[in-house]
Amino acid sequence: MFFNISGTLKGLANKFRLAVVVTNQVVDFIGPRDGVNGVRLGNLESLDTSGRRVSPALGLAWAHCINSRVFLTRHEQSIGVNIRNAPSTTTCSQTHRTFHLVFAPHLAYALAEFVITKEGIVRVSR
């Protein structure tokens, strides 16, 4: 069924010259850090988000149906904020997100960290 669905989506993408984005939930991963039965998850040995090690839920069969794999993670980071007329710096939490390009046949692994603010998406410099 995975191969039929992915074949149909790839055919539509080629016919109409569009990109198809399919999401896959993740599940907690329990096992060795070197992948599932020794098979790596793209360029990463394991995927981590919100302090948990995770693995794509649809497994190895679906992994062979896709052309590129991205992974979005998030983590809380404490930052100091100076508030006008306040005697000291206030600490607050900010959610940082990271876009990982895990696998693409024509691109190397890359990542970009960002935050979402009222003004929009802002890249975080390291």
The pLDDT score that the predictor gives to residue 10 is 93
Does 65 score more than 80 pLDDT? yes
Most confident of 10-24, 41-55, 62-76, 81-95: 10-24
**Could you give the number of structural domains in the chain?**
1
Q: Taking the model in full, what pTM does it have?
A: 0.66
Percent of the chain with pLDDT over 70: 75
The residue segments making up the domain with residue 29 are: 2-123
The pLDDT score that the predictor gives to residue 43 is 47
What DSSP assignment string belongs to the chain?
Answer: -HHHHHHHHHHHHHHHT--------EEE--S-TT-BTTB-BTTBS-EEETTEEEEETTHHHHHTT-S-EEEEEEEEEEEEE--TT-SSPEEEEEEEEEEEEEE-TTS--EEEEEEEETTEEEEPP-
The pLDDT score that the predictor gives to residue 8 is 95
